[in-house]
Amino acid sequence: MALLDIENLTVEYPVRHGIFTAVDDVSLTVERGEILGIVGESGAGKSTIGNAVMGLLSSPGRIAGGTVSLEGDRIDALNAAKMRSLRGKRIGMIFQDPMTSLNPLETIENQLIETIDHHLHVGTAEAKERAIRLLEQVGIADAPNRIKQYPHEFSGGMRQRVVIALALCAEPDLIIADEPTTALDVSIQAQILDLIKRLCREENVGMILVTHDMGVIAETADRVAVMYRGKLVELGDTAQIIGQPQHPYTKVLISAVPPSNKRIDRFTRVDYAQSGTPPKADIDLNTHWLGDGPARQIDGQAMLTVASLNKVFRSGGGLFGGKAQENHAVKDVSFHVKAGETFGIVGESGSGKSTIARLITGIHKPTSGEIHFNGDPLHEKPKTGEEILRRRQVQMVFQDPYSSLNARMRVGDIVAEPIRVNGTAPSTSAARTIAADLLALVELDADAALKYPHAFSGGQRQRISIARALASRPRFLICDEPTSALDVSIQAQILNLLKDLQAKLDLTLLFISHDLPVMRQMCDRIAVMRYGEIVEQSGGEAIFTAPQHSYTRSLIDLMPKFEPDRM
Amino acid sequence: MALYILRRVLQSFFVLLAVGLVAFSMFRFVGDPVDNLLGQERTQADIERLRDVLGLNDPFIVQYWNFLKDAVQGDLGVSFRQGRPVMDIFIERLPATLELALISAIFAVVVGVVLGVYTALKPKGWLTNLILTVSLVGVSLPTFLIGILLIYVFAVELGWLPSFGRGETVQIGWWTTGLLTGSGLKALILPAITLGLYQMTLIMRLVRSEMTEVLGSDYIRFARARGLTDRSIHFRHAIKNTLIPVITITGLQLGSIIAFAIITETVFQWPGVGLLFIDSVRFVDIPVMASYLMMISVMFVAINLIVDILYVIIDPRLRAGENT
């Protein structure tokens, strides 16, 4: 008998026009000591399965069919009180974001003791002993003292350890982990995944690991369930799913994931999800407005030079004293980007990589140091009108496609705005035509110009952002985590698009990301940053094949390995 | 912590100075007190002499300075109208206002929080809809109208409660209290409700929206996933997190309960400082007006300080900040 047996589970959400089926006829089993990965893109229904098992479906969702059994006993139709006595005691759950999963106003001790005492009725003293042991088990040093602290005194990785300790309080038989490492840096992610694997083996606990990250699945799961639009499309051993996927969607999904162990030229076109072919626009740069920009440079010349750049942020301190805090976000950073290449900056959160993008685009002023773009000093105010014109050649694509577009403007106007403001088109109607051309260039339909941003998906919005950047006829495009908010198949499309545009328009790219496999696919040269400093800088492949600095080596070591050709 | 409080007190001191300055500069426009003080048969010489005695010929900065100098020593000057020290009048009047404000504040906070939590926990119940609809009426009607309505229903038609005054009072030292006699308590009910109703609906709606947000947060979902009881989730984890923003608004509202007691006191002829202020404005009694404004600003500043300290006590994240 399996530990958890889900049979023909169907979950429905009544919506305004009928019923939305979030999970459609899914059957799964989980054994003790086994990690079952559930993978899929956003909207696939993978989290809904976990919530349905826990009896925590958000209103008005309901289980419309099928059964869920825990060691042979049905648990899908229990009353509220019985279900609650199951939660935490027999099934534990771990959430995605450790920063928000803990009550900020209670000490770790109170939260642990409350949960332990609630389930095991052992009294406060015994509960505290257990709590300390749990914290030690999940790898928190100095547990007797740290237990008295509040959540905000722990780092993200440490908080996730506390969350795991809380889920383990009553020694559950099954743990549902919903994207447990998505909000964490690579090095912390590796530690947490190790911890999860170890606990499953040691405690003989079954686990459902819900994630969108194929790398995490490849490293952690024993078996994988692939979900697509609420349906289970394929179920099998991890090696088989990644090495020899059977279902066409799985194949598409696997081919969209950037492999960590080699560089490929392009991702295979992903079109399982889409009907119809997107418009293919071909612009003749010799005649089109877009080719009429500033003269192109010979490849290999230094286009952007950054020398001894420093940025210190000051916070706190006021009229009546109080010490100001200093945060040295960028420390003595020097690099150059050659015309026509893609230069990557990689680092974990807080390493200062995004600050560099902001310094180059003038959002922040550097504390000291120089930035030159084709000879113009970007760290100073522009002196002439011509200099301002030349600075427009630097454009930026932001991380979050949801907040970086004005929701009250039509997409056509968003793209046409830089053309109108800069006065680079002879008339408003000409600007509109150019905007339509640009939208076609990023493979959006012709009627996209008339819609508002909310009508588009994340990937489509990022295309709009790119079209808007192109509307200034840039020579130099800064992409700050351009695909971090997107599903892998969409990520593959956007990365392909960036590569195409770069080849077509001779763009120079500064690519900023935390995602090493993505960097490997995109970048000619890479700089690795830590604590505001560049620790290593070399050719894109060399970073992976022959890392010099110990930090680079540990990053490469810790990144989840996704190597379909070796499975 | 001590340093933090000291810094806040220092800041408050400058706020008070500024408030006083603005108030004093405005008194030059409310009219000439001499007109009211001297009768019809005055001569120019009388006027000049009185102006000189009262110091009204000095520039207002000098007047302000003299006022401050005396106020620090506990001397708020002599009322132009009553000819008695302002301090004495205040001591006589203040207990009435403070008791009224206290009772209506307790009413506003207790009823507001309870109803707010209830409506957040049962967002779809019929009682929730009823409470929300009625509260909308409470917010929309002006204070004096509510007072008059209450007087009409409970004092005139039903005859249950008195329509004006404090009822019998008991003297305890310099403090006169209406809380110890039956008629005093009865007299408090209508004015306290009138004064607190608006704040109550405000607090209720604030608690409701904060609580709704907190109930949807990740740590509440995680608490549910750990199998904790609803009681613990709602009343231990959720309420505390709800209260942080509520405290700020509530604190400021308590200040305005005292400040806006003017209207309620006028409607119910409540013998407090608000009524005193209205009378003083009519007779351009500058010492009383100045003292009243300073007293109100001291209260606001003090309440703000208390709110800031409460914040630090409730939220551990702010406690960490004080060491740096």
For residue A422, tell me if it sits in a domain: no
- Answer whether residue A37 shows pLDDT above 90: yes
A104 shares its domain with A251 = yes
For residue A429, tell me if it sits in a domain: no
Distance CA A235, CA A302 (A): 50
Distance CA A239, CA A242 (A): 5
A210 shares its domain with A342 = no
Count of helices and strands (H, E) across chain B = 15, 2
- Answer whether residue A322 shows pLDDT above 70: no
A52 shares its domain with A135 = yes
Q: Which of A56, A97, A166 sits opposite B224 (nearest CB)?
A: A56
DSSP-derived letter for residue A476 is E
A352 shares its domain with A227 = no
What pLDDT sits at residue A479? 92
For residue A285, tell me if it sits in a domain: no
What distance in Å separates residue B97's CA from the closest CA in chain A? 35
Q: How does pLDDT run across A175-187, given as a tens digit for each residue? A: 999 888 877 788 7
- Answer whether residue A200 shows pLDDT above 50: yes
Query: HSE-up of A34 (CA within 13 Å, CB side)?
Result: 16
Task: Band the pLDDT of A31: cuts 50, 70, 90.
Answer: very high
- Looking only at the bridges linking them, the beta strands covering A325-338 and A302-315 are antiparallel
Q: How does pLDDT run across A402-433, given as a tens digit for each residue? A: 888 888 889 999 999 998 888 888 888 888 88
Higher pLDDT, A467 or B69: A467
Domain range holding A537?
302-312+327-410+458-566
A277, burial (CB in 10 Å: exposed 0-12, middle 13-18, buried 19+): exposed
Distance CA B93, CA B174 (A): 11
What pLDDT sits at residue B322? 44
What pLDDT sits at residue A535? 92
Distance CA B18, CA B193 (A): 34
What pLDDT sits at residue A281? 57
Alpha helices (runs of H) in A321-449, residue ranges in sequence order = 353-361, 385-391, 411-422, 428-441
B222 touches chain A (CB under 8 A): yes
Distance CA A246, CA A253 (A): 11
Contacts of A89 in chain B (CB under 8 A): 227
What pLDDT sits at residue A38? 93
For residue A87, tell me if it sits in a domain: yes
What pLDDT sits at residue A282? 62
Rounded to an integer, the average pLDDT of B33-51 is 75
Higher pLDDT, A382 or B252: A382
CB B283 within 8 A of CB B217: no
A478 shares its domain with A537 = yes
For residue A424, tell me if it sits in a domain: no
What CATH number should be reported for the domain holding residue A347?
A: 3.40.50.300
The type of residue at B319 is: R
| Helix or strand (DSSP H, E) at A530 | strand A525-530
Mean pLDDT over the full length of chain A: 85
A472, burial (CB in 10 Å: exposed 0-12, middle 13-18, buried 19+): buried
B324 touches chain A (CB under 8 A): yes
What pLDDT sits at residue A28? 92
Q: What is the ipTM, given to two decimal places?
A: 0.73
For residue A318, tell me if it sits in a domain: no
- Answer whether residue B258 shows pLDDT above 70: yes
Mutation target vs A (from B124, B219, B308; most A CBs, 10 A cutoff): B219
CB A357 within 8 A of CB A397: no
Residue A501, Cβ neighbours under 10 Å: how many? Answer: 19
- Answer whether residue A545 shows pLDDT above 90: no
What pLDDT sits at residue A40? 85
A408, burial (CB in 10 Å: exposed 0-12, middle 13-18, buried 19+): exposed
- Answer whether residue A17 shows pLDDT above 60: yes
Higher pLDDT, B299 or A525: A525
What pLDDT sits at residue A280? 55
Q: Which of A54, A103, A119 sits opposite B225 (nearest CB)?
A: A54
- Count how many domains chain A has: 2
Q: Go through the domains of chain B in sequence order and give each one's CATH number.
A: 86-280 (1.10.3720.10)
The chain A residues in contact with chain B (CB within 8 A) are: 54, 56, 84-89, 92-93, 95, 97, 100-107, 114-115, 118-119, 150, 152-153, 163, 166-167, 169-170, 316, 319-323, 325
What pLDDT sits at residue B178? 73
- Answer whether residue B321 shows pLDDT above 60: no
For residue A277, tell me if it sits in a domain: no
Contacts of B320 in chain A (CB under 8 A): 150, 152-153
Distances (CA, A) of A565 to A242, A255, A517, A519, B252: 9, 11, 15, 19, 66
A247 shares its domain with A129 = yes
Q: How does pLDDT run across B181-206, given as a tens digit for each residue? A: 777 788 888 888 888 888 888 889 88
Distance CA A55, CA A369 (A): 57
What pLDDT sits at residue A296? 64
Distance CA A223, CA A34 (A): 8
Distance CA B237, CA B228 (A): 10
A246 shares its domain with A379 = no
A242 shares its domain with A103 = yes
**Residue with structure tokens 């959540």?**
A151
What pLDDT sits at residue B324? 34
A123 shares its domain with A181 = yes
Sign of CA dihedral B47, B51, B57, B61: negative
CB contact under 8 A, B7 and A118: no
A403 shares its domain with A482 = yes
Q: How does pLDDT run across A148-174, given as a tens digit for each residue? A: 888 888 888 888 889 988 988 888 999
A188 shares its domain with A41 = yes
Contacts of B222 in chain A (CB under 8 A): 93, 95, 101-102, 163, 166
Task: Give the number of residues written for chain A.
Answer: 567
Question: Model-level pTM?
Answer: 0.75
Phi-psi region of A365 (alpha: psi -120 to 50; beta: other; left: phi over 0): beta
Task: Band the pLDDT of A294: cuts 50, 70, 90.
Answer: low
Q: How does pLDDT run across A532-542, given as a tens digit for each residue? A: 899 999 887 88
What pLDDT sits at residue A271? 57
CB A436 within 8 A of CB A412: yes
Task: Band the pLDDT of A320: cuts 50, 70, 90.
Answer: very low
Distance CA A416, CA A471 (A): 7
The type of residue at B296 is: I
For residue A284, tell me if it sits in a domain: no
Q: How does pLDDT run across A63-119, given as a tens digit for each residue? A: 888 899 998 888 888 888 888 888 888 999 988 888 888 888 888 899 999 999 888
Rounded to an integer, the average pLDDT of A223-231 is 90
What distance in Å separates residue A132's CA from the closest CA in chain B? 18
A14 shares its domain with A116 = yes
Rounded to an integer, the average pLDDT of A360-373 is 90
DSSP string, B65-123: HHHHHHHHTT---B-TTT-SBHHHHHHHHHHHHHHHHHHHHHHHHHHHHHHHHHHHHST
What pLDDT sits at residue A381? 84
Distances (CA, A) of A336 to A225, A345, B45: 45, 12, 87
Q: How does pLDDT run across B96-155, given as a tens digit for each residue? A: 888 888 888 889 889 999 999 999 888 888 888 888 888 888 778 887 888 888 888 888
CB contact under 8 A, A102 and B217: no
What pLDDT sits at residue B25? 74
Mean pLDDT over the full length of chain B: 81
